[in-house]
A and B are shown apart, each in its own frame.
Chain A
């Protein structure tokens, strides 16, 4: 998976495309860390085109949240499809992440 990025308001927006699973998790984690290490500490993960996530994908998202918090930044997630929303609910991740319906809402607050 190749992550795309853009800057909106005070946020670095990271756009996912495809599957975040056992096959792609490690390469995505490296890409995210490279992006964060450039200095952006307020980040939105845009899941508009994320079609699938498994527990190994969640591990990457959780590690990202912990890293951003350690830097004193903010992490938001937006545009999750119904299935990914259910995965966040079952895992309890919906209670530890700031989740927004749209990108506009995520960068507005």
Chain B
């Protein structure tokens, strides 16, 4: 089963994303225990896009495709922001003291920890990030 949503580059669009994930999980008959992780993976990536990908003030479109098959959710996010490959990004260092702990890189750390495969390509001036998530029963 495949479902698609197109979001604008506005943080308020994340409410639509949450509803989209809830509907996808219900329609695909996937356990609710996956809702949290899907929200986390997608919010972290899309917040990064909205916050850092665009150098103008224009409205841009971010496309999210969720596909469920054989115990895996295939997640694709496409945006027309500047080139950014999160697979080559340094994730946050954990286990530091309170004084040294910072938030930068935590989002990508969550994405890499909660998915089992991430693939990035730049195609037609768009970033295309594909992530595979193992469905929890």
Contact (Cβ within 8 A) B40 A87: yes
What separation, in Å, do the CA atoms of A58 and B92 have in the docked complex? 13
Contact (Cβ within 8 A) A56 B37: no
Beta-carbon nearest neighbor of A56 in chain B: B47
Beta-carbon nearest neighbor of B15 in chain A: A23
What separation, in Å, do the CA atoms of A83 and B11 have in the docked complex? 23
Contact (Cβ within 8 A) B14 A62: no
Contact (Cβ within 8 A) A62 B110: no
* A contact patch SS: helix
Give 1 or 0 for each of B4-22: 1 = CB within 8 Å of chain A CB.
0000000110110010000
**Which range holds the interface residue count of chain A?**
20 to 34
Does B124 interact with chain A (Cβ within 8 Å)?
no
Inter-chain pairs besides A52-B36, A95-B95, 12 sampled, C-beta below 8 Å: A22-B14, A23-B14, A54-B43, A55-B110, A58-B106, A66-B98, A90-B110, A90-B113, A91-B106, A92-B94, A92-B96, A96-B101
Using a CB–CB cutoff of 8 Å, the interface residues on chain A facing chain B are 19, 21-23, 51-52, 54-56, 58-59, 62, 65-66, 69, 83, 87, 90-93, 95-96
